[in-house]
Structure 1
């Protein structure tokens, strides 16, 4: 942490002061300390917009840098700036990098191999299962999973990454001293132990609606690509995907049941050019990333159906191929449940399509 960090903090706490304007001050005065201590007249010569100039004049007299620095220390937060070597390299080069980052936990060199997984807060069982499968597969191969710690898809992604023995990073839309949503308090603690919580917002910043689209640029900026596992047409996940494209990141999407509106955002992304993926290998191949790490247990572990629905459907396929209508009739399950189960069984390599709407058990 450099001696100049507290002055980065000071200017970051002032409205209308983003990375470009803070760097403009640094270039003009040599250091941010000089800028902070400069006269009103010298500041005016910098050529900042009037609202930014007036905010600096007013706020720097009110900000207690020592007190703000102590608050950071009290919360055991790591504070890094664009000046620091530890600032993530991939994030540094996006068009509008955050000038500072508040971090609980730890970033490592391994996090340069990261993928963002995003989706709807109102996830279906299928969406959660697919997310869990992808996050666990990727984490087990050394890919850091980045998400936003929201309910639904985000929560499933973080939990699966940790359960898969990997690392995960949560990008927050509020101050790092606030847990949002409150239901994820324990998850936040686990993330900080197996990765990091990150926010660009000052301590105490509430989770207002405008913060979440803004934080999305960090989510995609830290990642090699973004995977959308389940999202409706109007979803914040699609904003993240759009931001990823603007940052020259890859966008991946899991195909959804055409009768289920909650996943139509994924289908639209695929129509628009996102890469359709059905397992982690598709993503790693697209990113030209080698399979980094597979534990001995995972090398020998037999993939098996996880839910009762999957087990019922797979048992019906033991002998002969069946049409989907016959599977629905024999299983006495709903059409949606059967479709979801068949999709997951195919993703796991346990079932295959053997004809039009016909399925059979794969030979393993």
Structure 2
């Protein structure tokens, strides 16, 4: 375990990031050879401050981290992958800034699967979450592994979709997190995290015990895109972390896909911007499979209906002709009740009752500002 200890010590040394670590490894070889090198030799590769830090004996904090990591690795299905390991994900070796260490919890073999990243807003609409889950479920059942960041909103729905069918041909899901692999963040996703650890895979480049630090999350996005053949963006504001992931994907030579939305929705602005910049507009999971030339991955293709982004409403049929006409009047853009009342020529009390029934039946959702939007 001494070799692993040296890797942990290298990444925990103050001032030694991924770039400095790669320079040192290229020059000296494995970490034990780095720590055996002289100060004079080290400062030829890194700064004097970094060289001095490498020459210092490991602190009590670093020794405690090494011990903690050994104990963590001794637990079932916990792994520490170094940059020199044969099972280090090949796709991550292609990105400009691959992490020196990967802490992996769960099915390590998923890191070698053909994967697609699915990302989007933390404050997703109901329809956005439906799209994320349905697309991810269809792609997973076609053999693709779903990669996301385990945030609330679209990420959560994507992981749930990836886990929906766990037969031998499904791709399952990978969660790339911005904390230590021994921490669940957000806490609300504790149940999801345990399910991913059992049936999927959790990945982090951060040392055990690393808390949720805001700057770590944009940085981890390069791993979400790096582990994937492409990135699907579902709902993103004009300024959002999902656009950072998309930009990183383009820099890494990955495909970028986006689902369009209403021109009136703030959560569609980011997707529309990506499409204007050359992202591929998609309406079904089959669009992605065909673009990646993976549409023959699954030897048992699903019926065409299952590739639709919206779930079937067989248990939620429109009960009255009036409700059906109201849905037609709503259309697919968000609408204010006052505008809808004028459009349908009904009083506000009657309209409110009908809208409530449609909401309870899952046919419409209420957005910010009291606007209504049709689902499906």
Whether TM exceeds 0.5 here: the answer is yes
1:311 equivalent to 2:317? Answer yes
CA–CA separation in structure 2 for the residues paired with 1:279 and 1:317 = 27
Aligned CA RMSD, in angstroms, stands at: 3.2
Q: 1:28-47 deviations in whole A, cap 9, x for unaligned? A: 33432122233434433x33
Which residue matches 1:325? 329
CA–CA separation in structure 1 for the residues paired with 2:304 and 2:280 = 29
Secondary structure of the 1:227 match is: strand
CA–CA separation in structure 1 for the residues paired with 2:192 and 2:183 = 13
1:95 equivalent to 2:96? Answer yes
- How far the C-alpha of 1:130 sits from its partner, in A, is 0.8
CA–CA separation in structure 2 for the residues paired with 1:173 and 1:59 = 28
Secondary structure of the 1:169 match is: strand
Contact 1:140 1:294 (C-alpha < 8 Å) held by counterparts: no
CA–CA separation in structure 2 for the residues paired with 1:310 and 1:272 = 39
CA–CA separation in structure 1 for the residues paired with 2:320 and 2:293 = 33
1:9 equivalent to 2:12? Answer no
Which residue matches 1:221? 226
1:205 equivalent to 2:210? Answer yes
Q: 1:41-85 deviations in whole A, cap 9, x for unaligned? A: 4433x3311332233234635432752442433555200011001
Q: 1:149-185 deviations in whole A, cap 9, x for unaligned? A: 0000000000111013331000001111110000111
Which residue matches 1:352? none
- How far the C-alpha of 1:13 sits from its partner, in A, is 1.0
1:104-143 correspondence runs (5 A) = 104-108=105-109, 111-143=112-144
Q: Indicate which of 185, 201, 212 corresponds to 2:190.
A: 185
1:259 equivalent to 2:259? Answer no
Contact 2:258 2:281 (C-alpha < 8 Å) held by counterparts: yes
- How far the C-alpha of 1:23 sits from its partner, in A, is 3.2
Unaligned runs of 5+ residues in structure 1 are 345-364
CA–CA separation in structure 2 for the residues paired with 1:314 and 1:32 = 71
Secondary structure of the 1:164 match is: coil
Contact 2:143 2:298 (C-alpha < 8 Å) held by counterparts: yes
Cα distance change of structure 1 residues 251 and 192 upon mapping to structure 2, 3 Å threshold:
same
CA–CA separation in structure 2 for the residues paired with 1:9 and 1:306 = 50
Secondary structure of the 2:163 match is: helix
CA–CA separation in structure 1 for the residues paired with 2:88 and 2:320 = 48
CA–CA separation in structure 2 for the residues paired with 1:253 and 1:314 = 35
Cα distance change of structure 1 residues 294 and 59 upon mapping to structure 2, 3 Å threshold:
farther
CA–CA separation in structure 2 for the residues paired with 1:294 and 1:185 = 34
Which residue matches 2:86? 85
CA–CA separation in structure 1 for the residues paired with 2:26 and 2:280 = 42
Q: 1:264-295 deviations in whole A, cap 9, x for unaligned? A: 21111112211110100110111111332266
**TM-score after normalising by structure 2:** 0.80
Unaligned runs of 5+ residues in structure 2 are 332-339, 366-371
Secondary structure of the 2:84 match is: coil
Contact 1:103 1:176 (C-alpha < 8 Å) held by counterparts: yes
